[in-house]
Structure 1
Amino acid sequence: MRRVILPICLLLGACVPGTYSYHEPATRAAMPEEAGMPPMKAFSAPRPLPPQRSNRDIQRDILDLGFQLESGRMLQHFSRFEGPITVRVTGEPPITLISDLNRLMHRLQTEAGINISRVSEGPANITIEAVSRDAIQRSLPKAACFVVPNISRLSQYRAARNSRATDWSQLRQRERIAIFVPNDTSPQEVRDCLHEELAQALGPLNDLYRLSDSVFNDDNVHAVLTGFDMLVLKVFYAPELRAGMTRREVEERLPAILSRLNPAGDGLAPRFAGSTPRAWIDAIQTALGPGARPLERRAAATDAVRIAQAVGWNDHRRAFSHFALGRITQASDPDFAQEQFVLAERFYEANPGTDLHRAFAAAQLAAYAIAQGRGEDALMLIGPHLATAERAENAALLATLMMLRAEALDLSGRVSEAQAVRLDSLGWARYGYGADWAVRAKLREVGALSPLKGPNG
């Protein structure tokens, strides 16, 4: 299981957050502040939204998440840890990793009711090894981070990767799992890996594109565990279940468990979102993942839209298909890309629970408005989504929206307000994008959108 490199790029020409040397982390404590660069910001207490779907839908989601791998391979038995769970960090962790891990484990204890604690030495049920991104990609070329059973170090992975020991389908009771996260990328990327991989080490092994409110979705829209995700993990560790159960045994117990843990879900009507065709998943991963050439990316994104139309989707997957096509074409055909982002926003707006998705679309639409000199329009697009990005704890998105807002304010003649917003964005950008040079590169990229700063500006 792995968090794939499938970036949701925010702006015209945007890239994934830059890497930086482990010995030069973008933190105030580790390096002197340069002139004009404020300290890194941190989010306050988590405010996850509770799940907004029927318990009948959630029951189906839990079964599909828990009894299937991402490849589509079915699992015969339910697996989880039994008893208290210990976590140890090894390798060379960046300075932000421990604080983010502690925050996550507190949520797992209080929101999911899992008996989990961190140890500083000796054996542990879950070992989190912080290594370089290159080391991770030498093992799994398309992975940003990943999780493996029955080993504790990355050096053990190559010898064990094709053995029964690392075959998830052989597991009933989990006892020893390793998580490999990068130590030379942005603090947000490290944190996102912690959330997704620790959640999969504890619970579901599958990802489902039909889930709009979950990190168990390879679209990477959600950066931290959501209210739905915490409910899923709470169900996984409900006393009514035990490791080794069959799908039928778990299915028989789920209605009562969900009624107890999520009574509001009993009163909601099911929506029964359809399954996601493998062809659409492959098209999206080709369009937005690493390795494909530009023409291949555009063809794949076009295929994703075609498949979504043929299936008859009107949900967030249809919107994401248009978003991906817009992302691929924004440099070569900006007017066409704009049309795709408008379509994405239209489908997102018609589906509840897609506020964060809409924030990503708004960033693209606002960038286009700024490039056309329409500052007031950009401000209207950005305004509703700043709070959404903050609540979702997505510092990269929040910083980008604030930078866009600053350019829009400049276009509207509100220069002093623009300067204050731009300065405020930098602390979030240091968490979201990493090293100071990456923050400045993002500032230049956003600033280049404005006609005030073009050749005739």
Structure 2
Amino acid sequence: MRLLFLLPLLALMACAPTPASHNRTTQQNSTYAGPIPPMKRFGPAHVSPPTRSNSEIAQDFLDLSFRLENGQPLPFMTRFEVPISVRINGTAPATLSSDLDALLVRLRNEAGIDIRRVPAAKTANISINTVPVRQFKHMRPTAACFVVPGVSSWGDFRRLRRSSVTNWKTLRKRTRMAIFIPDNVSPQEMRDCLHEELAQALGPLNDLFRLPDSIFNDDNYHSILTGFDMLVLRAYYAPELHKGTTRQQAAAALPRILARLNPAGEFATGHAPVSATPKSWENAIRQTINPAKSHSARRAAAMRAVTIARNHGWADVRTGFSLHKLGRLTLAQDAGLARCAFREALTIFRGRPEMRLQAAQITMQLAAISLSDGDAQIAINQANSSLPALLQAQDAVTLSMVLMIKAEALDLQNHTTEAREVRLDSLGWARYAFGSKKAALDRLAGISALTPK
């Protein structure tokens, strides 16, 4: 087992030596004194339809819909059987309101769900609540946001949280749901919570790490509902299904449902069946993101995840994700090892069209390394190649940092005017991605610190 643990490390270390340029002195502080542009916002989403076969999608649907996230099986489906109403309880930022309206339009148009917003004073099937962060973290210290059945408000949840009313396992029908989001997070974080938790309130309750093109995945690559997600929700509300449908009944109905909703999937090339994800890999991945663990423990967990993925022979999003985590957790200690991990992950992600967003996020990491090496043109090329996927996925976090990297690289080439324009663009997206002006400027300073003097 010890030898197996070392094999991925040896393979990555053989990839390339640490470049000498990583030992250069870099700027430690950068003060931006220019104008701070207003927050930038995305327009209507234009997501790509799923490219996988309907037989694969049917299996994904069943595994998403008939298990909870903790692995417990569900005997039957539950869903809303009437037109669905949504409200925002209390006060909320303007961005939350407009992002909700945009999401509801998509759910009606792309998923075919009859869902409408109602005023806060009216009773609604789904209530969205922003909660003071201290109260939120006291109740759910590790959650970004969450959805609970059977309640509408924070007070309801606190009073009934240990009762059967809020237990997904004992749920028989969906009539009331509450989504809870901390009140101090950035506009993008609030939007991401809306997409993920509203999708769960409406449809499947499970997440699957094997999914490359879905928000129903705890790897958090996707932050808005994808074409796959909308197809799953449309199928979830197909007339052939209803609350009380068993897994066997759903499996019998799905081929004709998907043939009707996604005819292209009947002719898509199927991939080899994806093996089950072992708990050992999931546990290792969860340790890599556990803030209570030391950095060295998280780095070791990332290595275990890579080892397990390789031992299973995976060449899918799970292996790429393992390598991504390893790259990020080793970058400060061994830039050569991190570079190799990122490059291997990028090769995996470029292998299938549904992983182009993952490829763009890895390319951002490599562009940052190129910038720190002083390879300005390579950094610019890498930044430019990632922009289309990031814009389509409406990922303002990565988009803003890619533009910051590009601006620094342009400065290295003495293209001062263009660098200034790109930097302003990056700050507009950073306002949406990170919230405050200070948070946006802190990110800008962090990217600037990568640039060789």
Decide: shared fold, TM above 0.5.
yes
Tell me how far apart the structure 1 counterparts of residues 151 and 34 of structure 2 sit (CA, whole Å).
Answer: 45
1:360 offset after TM fit, Å? 1.0
Corresponding residue number in structure 1 for 2:45: 46
Is 1:436 aligned to 2:437, yes or no? Answer: yes
Query: Is the Cα–Cα contact under 8 Å of residues 129 and 178 in structure 2 kept in the other structure?
Result: yes
Q: Which has the higher helix share?
A: 2
Query: Is the Cα–Cα contact under 8 Å of residues 133 and 144 in structure 1 kept in the other structure?
Result: no
Corresponding residue number in structure 1 for 2:116: 117
CA offsets 1:37-65 (integer angstroms, 9 cap, x no match): 11111112210000010000000000000
CA offsets 1:316-345 (integer angstroms, 9 cap, x no match): 211111110111111222222122111111
Corresponding residue number in structure 1 for 2:252: 252
Corresponding residue number in structure 2 for 1:408: 409
Query: Is the Cα–Cα contact under 8 Å of residues 316 and 351 in structure 1 kept in the other structure?
Result: no
Query: Is the Cα–Cα contact under 8 Å of residues 67 and 75 in structure 1 kept in the other structure?
Result: yes
CA offsets 1:1-47 (integer angstroms, 9 cap, x no match): xxxxxxxxxxx9xxxxxxxxxxxxxxxxxxxxx96111111112210
Corresponding residue number in structure 2 for 1:102: 101
Query: Is the Cα–Cα contact under 8 Å of residues 130 and 181 in structure 1 kept in the other structure?
Result: yes
Bigger mean CA offset, 406-415 vs 305-314: 406-415
Q: Any idea what SS the aligned residue of 1:282 has?
A: helix
Bigger mean CA offset, 265-274 vs 403-412: 265-274
AA aligned to 1:47 is H
1:155 offset after TM fit, Å? 2.5
1:292 offset after TM fit, Å? 1.1
Unaligned 5+ segments in structure 1 are: 1-11, 13-33, 452-456
Tell me how far apart the structure 2 counterparts of residues 233 and 133 of structure 1 sit (CA, whole Å).
Answer: 31
Query: Is the Cα–Cα contact under 8 Å of residues 127 and 179 in structure 2 kept in the other structure?
Result: yes
AA aligned to 1:185 is V
1:365 offset after TM fit, Å? 0.6
Tell me how far apart the structure 2 counterparts of residues 35 and 92 of structure 1 sit (CA, whole Å).
Answer: 33
Tell me how far apart the structure 1 counterparts of residues 175 and 397 of structure 2 sit (CA, whole Å).
Answer: 35
Tell me how far apart the structure 1 counterparts of residues 154 and 299 of structure 2 sit (CA, whole Å).
Answer: 35
Q: Any idea what SS the aligned residue of 1:323 has?
A: helix
1:351 offset after TM fit, Å? 2.9
Q: May I ask how many residue pairs the two structures share in their alignment?
A: 420
AA aligned to 1:205 is L
AA aligned to 1:352 is P
Corresponding residue number in structure 2 for 1:346: 347
Corresponding residue number in structure 2 for 1:20: none
Tell me how far apart the structure 2 counterparts of residues 136 and 380 of structure 1 sit (CA, whole Å).
Answer: 42
Query: Is the Cα–Cα contact under 8 Å of residues 54 and 270 in structure 1 kept in the other structure?
Result: yes
1:269 offset after TM fit, Å? 3.0
1:270 offset after TM fit, Å? 2.5
Tell me how far apart the structure 2 counterparts of residues 358 and 65 of structure 1 sit (CA, whole Å).
Answer: 25
Is 1:391 aligned to 2:392, yes or no? Answer: yes
Corresponding residue number in structure 1 for 2:219: 219
Q: Any idea what SS the aligned residue of 2:94 has?
A: coil
Q: Any idea what SS the aligned residue of 1:128 has?
A: strand
Corresponding residue number in structure 2 for 1:261: 261
Tell me how far apart the structure 1 counterparts of residues 124 and 395 of structure 2 sit (CA, whole Å).
Answer: 30
AA aligned to 1:305 is V
AA aligned to 2:84 is I
Query: Is the Cα–Cα contact under 8 Å of residues 164 and 170 in structure 1 kept in the other structure?
Result: yes
Q: Any idea what SS the aligned residue of 1:308 has?
A: helix
Tell me how far apart the structure 2 counterparts of residues 243 and 315 of structure 1 sit (CA, whole Å).
Answer: 33
AA aligned to 1:80 is R
CA offsets 1:253-275 (integer angstroms, 9 cap, x no match): 11110000000001123222222
CA offsets 1:406-457 (integer angstroms, 9 cap, x no match): 1111122322211111111111111011100000001100111101xxxxx3
Corresponding residue number in structure 1 for 2:64: 65
Q: Any idea what SS the aligned residue of 1:174 has?
A: coil
Query: Is the Cα–Cα contact under 8 Å of residues 85 and 118 in structure 2 kept in the other structure?
Result: yes
Give the RMSD, CA atoms, in angstroms: 1.4
Tell me how far apart the structure 2 counterparts of residues 133 and 279 of structure 1 sit (CA, whole Å).
Answer: 32
AA aligned to 2:211 is L
Tell me how far apart the structure 1 counterparts of residues 307 and 154 of structure 2 sit (CA, whole Å).
Answer: 40
Query: Is the Cα–Cα contact under 8 Å of residues 147 and 197 in structure 2 kept in the other structure?
Result: yes
Query: Is the Cα–Cα contact under 8 Å of residues 214 and 228 in structure 1 kept in the other structure?
Result: yes
Query: Is the Cα–Cα contact under 8 Å of residues 79 and 172 in structure 1 kept in the other structure?
Result: yes
AA aligned to 1:240 is E
Q: Any idea what SS the aligned residue of 1:249 has?
A: helix
Corresponding residue number in structure 1 for 2:17: none
1:350 offset after TM fit, Å? 2.1
CA offsets 1:286-330 (integer angstroms, 9 cap, x no match): 102322111210111111001001111011211111110111111
AA aligned to 1:419 is R
Query: Is the Cα–Cα contact under 8 Å of residues 94 and 184 in structure 1 kept in the other structure?
Result: no
Query: Is the Cα–Cα contact under 8 Å of residues 92 and 183 in structure 1 kept in the other structure?
Result: no
Query: Is the Cα–Cα contact under 8 Å of residues 151 and 177 in structure 1 kept in the other structure?
Result: yes
Query: Is the Cα–Cα contact under 8 Å of residues 152 and 177 in structure 2 kept in the other structure?
Result: yes
TM-score (norm 1): 0.90
Query: Is the Cα–Cα contact under 8 Å of residues 76 and 169 in structure 1 kept in the other structure?
Result: no
Tell me how far apart the structure 1 counterparts of residues 215 and 389 of structure 2 sit (CA, whole Å).
Answer: 16
Q: Any idea what SS the aligned residue of 2:328 has?
A: helix
Query: Is the Cα–Cα contact under 8 Å of residues 149 and 166 in structure 1 kept in the other structure?
Result: yes
Q: Any idea what SS the aligned residue of 1:354 has?
A: helix
TM-score (norm 2): 0.90
1:194 offset after TM fit, Å? 0.2
CA offsets 1:73-95 (integer angstroms, 9 cap, x no match): 00001110001101111133122
AA aligned to 2:85 is T
AA aligned to 1:435 is S
Corresponding residue number in structure 2 for 1:425: 426
Is 1:173 aligned to 2:173, yes or no? Answer: yes
Is 1:275 aligned to 2:281, yes or no? Answer: no
Corresponding residue number in structure 1 for 2:383: 382
Bigger mean CA offset, 291-300 vs 428-437: 291-300
The 5 Å alignment of 1:290-329 reads 290-329=291-330
Unaligned 5+ segments in structure 2 are: 1-21, 23-32
Corresponding residue number in structure 1 for 2:333: 332
